[in-house]
Structures are given as C-alpha cells and as structure tokens.
C-alpha cells in the first residue's frame, strides 16, 4: 500500500488574514460564488464582497441554512451553474464549508475556505458530510483535492462563543490516538493510502500543543482578542488536526459519532463534544498501561469538555439504545482501524462504563 499525504495548497492564519481574500481570489479568476449561511452572510458578506471587488472579483452569494442533504446539494449546484464562475469561497462553520465543497466538487474548481469558528478541522479537508431528511448522517463524500487555500482570521475566530472553541478542542485532541491506531492496524487514511511518518508527527504535535495551550486559549475565546496561546491552539485545531486525520487516519473516537446519536439526548451535541467522549471510550478499549486516560480526564475538567455520555445529554442508560449505537459504530469504516477486532458487546460495555 502506498503512503499518501495530502493537504491544502496554501494556509494563512492570523488576525487580519481575511484582508488577503481578494488577492487570493484573483489568482483563480474574476467570478466567484460565496457559500455561507444567512447569519455569516449578514455579518461578513458585505466585507467579503468588497475585498473581492477590490481585486476585480465579482462575488455571488449562495445561502445555506440547513443540513447538507443530496437534494440541497443539487439545488446549490444548479444555482451556482446558472452563471459562470471560476472559484468557490465557503465561509462560516462546518456545514457551510461542506456545502462549498459540494459545489466546488461538482464544478471541479478551486475552493477557498474561510472558517468563522474553530469547532472542527473541516477547513483544510477534502471531505464533506451529507445528511438524510431526518438529520441522520448519510454519507461522507470527497473532493478530488483539498481546498486550494484556507484563510483563518483569528480576530474573527476569537469572536465566536467558547462552546464552539471547546468543541474544536474535543475534535482535535483525538487525532494523535486515532492516527496511531490506524497506523498500527494497517488502515487506510482519507486518501486511501497508508499514513506517512509526517502525518503521525503532526498528530503528535497537535496533542502536545493542545495540552500545553488549550486552557489558556479557551480564555480568549469569545473576546475577539486572539492571544499567542489562542493562535497556537487554533493552528493545532484546524491545520494540525486536519492534516493529522486526513493523512494519518481515524479510529474508534470518530467511528462512534455514527452510533452515539442513537442514544437519547446525544444527537444534538456538537461533533467535537461527541468525539471527546468517544476518545475516552477508545482509550478505555486500548487497555493502556500508562496514565493517559487519567491525564486527559484532568485536562477535560480544565477546559470543560464532556467526560461521559451523561455530560453529552444522555439521561438513561438504555441498553437497547447502547447496543444499537455500538452496532452502528462498528459498521463505520474507521472502526476497523484498531489493534483488535471489537465485538458489539465489548463496545457496548465500554459505552456503559462511560455513562
């Protein structure tokens, strides 16, 4: 199996990075579409259009305010294709970025992502998630290539509520452990290849950075004033985490996001918060002989991450729902990236231990 490493062509981060948008957009053409939700468009749409216009790029908005379903993807693609364009700019949270990826994928054109929150590592990845009409995860699709450019304005990110930053911590903290399990099991990464050592080292660095700076960085979330610790944590949560999971691979912590929504009260929890609990379950199943599980529990307490299913919103340890969650999890591709083959009973018992 070939080793494959991938990522965005250009990553820009810092307070004021958004001012580079027009320059970047002009590299690819004179006509672009902006994919964003109505809130982000209302707050930033005018600024984004002005930045692009300053470099001779016309920006046409496509508004997305719901889950990305196959029907919505077709509508967005038809709206985009109504007029010629050379570039997609996706701004906002994970759903808006995913919608932008779907449009760029169909048009086979360049994509620039502009995250407004650091709740996950979607900005750098080629993956986008589709849901069914009942808001259940339907499929994970893949662009042929990663976004061409990622513009992370930390002054914008720092205005988002701390809850979203906390979710980003939960999503990113798992990557070292998932990449290690995927590598050990001979699993395939998101490029259908084996992990490089580079990806493993990036995932290691992501963990080290978050343990060192996550607590201090969280204090800056919502203030609009990025600090050095905030800058380092955002880089870990978006760039290191994104490269680590796509080129390193995933395992049980992310596979559990397929099953956990079957447990009453959990479905509405943010993705990163579900991953945080999923990581504790994974480390439990690893039967580690070090103190990492205890160490992470202490860190979770400092940054306010959920450490149990009850913390995610579950109220009753319903064995049938737990069994269904375990069964769905084991059907996920990433569940096979583990040191041993897990049984439904083994995984369900682990979930009950973390209720």
Annotated binding site: 37, 94-98, 116-119, 121, 125, 131, 171, 254, 271
Q: Give the pLDDT of residue 268.
A: 92
Question: Domain with 128 in it: what CATH number?
Answer: 3.40.50.1970
Q: Give the pLDDT of residue 66.
A: 86
Q: Give the pLDDT of residue 139.
A: 86
Question: Domain with 267 in it: what CATH number?
Answer: 1.20.1090.10
End position of a domain, from candidates 93, 127, 158: 158
Write out pLDDT tens, residues 169-201: 999 999 999 999 999 999 999 999 999 999 999
Residue 55: is its pLDDT beyond 80? yes
Q: Give the pLDDT of residue 18.
A: 98
Q: Name residue, tokens 């061409």.
A: 148
Do both 137 and 261 map to the same domain? no
Residue 178 lies inside a defined structural domain of this protein: no
Write out pLDDT tens, residues 86-128: 999 999 999 999 999 999 999 999 999 999 999 999 999 999 9
Residue 134: is its pLDDT beyond 90? no
Residue 266 lies inside a defined structural domain of this protein: yes
Range of the domain at 68: 10-158
Do both 144 and 272 map to the same domain? no
Residue 246 lies inside a defined structural domain of this protein: no
Residue 1 lies inside a defined structural domain of this protein: no
Residue 135: is its pLDDT beyond 80? no
Residue 138: is its pLDDT beyond 90? no
Do both 151 and 258 map to the same domain? no
Q: Taking residues 9-22, report their average pLDDT.
A: 98
Residue 137 lies inside a defined structural domain of this protein: yes
User: In which band, very low, low, confident or very high, does the pLDDT at 136 lie, cut at 50, 70 and 90?
Assistant: confident
Do both 263 and 140 map to the same domain? no
Do both 154 and 256 map to the same domain? no
Please tell me the pTM assigned to this model. 0.95
End position of a domain, from candidates 131, 158, 185: 158
Q: Taking residues 274-299, report their average pLDDT.
A: 97
Annotated binding site for NAD(+): 37, 94-98, 116-119, 125, 131
Annotated binding site for glycerol: 121, 171, 254, 271
Write out pLDDT tens, residues 205-247: 999 999 999 999 999 999 999 999 999 999 999 999 999 999 9
As a whole number, the mean pLDDT across the chain is 96
Residue 37: name the closest of 113, 107, 93, 121 by CA.
Answer: 93
Do both 26 and 152 map to the same domain? yes
Residue 199 lies inside a defined structural domain of this protein: no
Do both 154 and 284 map to the same domain? no
End position of a domain, from candidates 132, 158, 184: 158
Do both 154 and 255 map to the same domain? no
Domain total in the chain: 2
∠ at Cα 117 (115, 122), nearest 5°?
55
Residue 191 lies inside a defined structural domain of this protein: no
Residue 332: is its pLDDT beyond 90? yes
Residue 55 lies inside a defined structural domain of this protein: yes
């Amino acid at each position: 199996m070939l080793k494959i490493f991938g990522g965005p062509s250009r990553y820009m981060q810092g307070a004021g990075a958004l001012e580079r948008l027009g320059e970047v957009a002009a590299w690819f053409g004179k006509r672009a579409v902006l994919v964003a939700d109505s809130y982000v468009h209302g707050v930033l749409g005018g600024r984004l259009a002005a930045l692009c216009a300053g470099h001779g790029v016309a920006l046409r908005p496509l508004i997305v305010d719901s889950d990305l379903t196959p029907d919505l993807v077709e509508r967005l693609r038809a709206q985009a294709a109504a007029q010629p364009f050379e570039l997609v700019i996706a701004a906002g949270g994970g759903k808006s970025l995913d919608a932008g990826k779907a449009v760029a994928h169909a048009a086979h054109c360049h994509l620039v992502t502009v995250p407004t929150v650091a709740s996950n590592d979607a900005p750098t990845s080629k993956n986008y998630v589709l849901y069914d009409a009942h808001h259940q995860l339907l499929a994970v699709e893949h662009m042929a290539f990663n976004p061409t450019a990622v513009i992370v304005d930390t002054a914008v990110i720092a205005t988002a509520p701390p809850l979203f930053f906390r979710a980003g911590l939960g999503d990113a903290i798992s990557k070292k452990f998932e990449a290690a399990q995927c590598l050990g099991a001979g699993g395939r990464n998101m490029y259908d290849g084996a992990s490089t050592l580079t990806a493993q080292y990036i995932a290691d660095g992501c963990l080290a950075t978050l343990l060192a700076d996550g607590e201090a960085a969280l204090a800056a979330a919502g203030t609009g004033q990025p600090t050095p610790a905030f800058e380092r944590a955002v880089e870990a949560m978006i760039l290191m985490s994104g490269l680590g999971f796509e080129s390193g691979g995933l395992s049980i912590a992310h596979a559990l996001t397929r099953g956990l929504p079957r447990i009453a009260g959990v479905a509405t929890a943010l993705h990163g918060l579900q991953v945080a609990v999923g990581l504790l379950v994974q480390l439990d199943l690893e039967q580690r002989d070090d103190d990492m599980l205890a160490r992470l529990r202490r860190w979770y307490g400092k940054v306010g991450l959920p450490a149990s299913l009850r913390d995610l919103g579950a109220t009753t340890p319903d064995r049938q729902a737990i069994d269904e969650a375990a069964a769905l999890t084991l059907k996920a591709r990433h569940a096979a990236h583990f040191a041993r083959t897990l049984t439904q009973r083994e995984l369900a018992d682990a979930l009950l231990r973390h209720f």
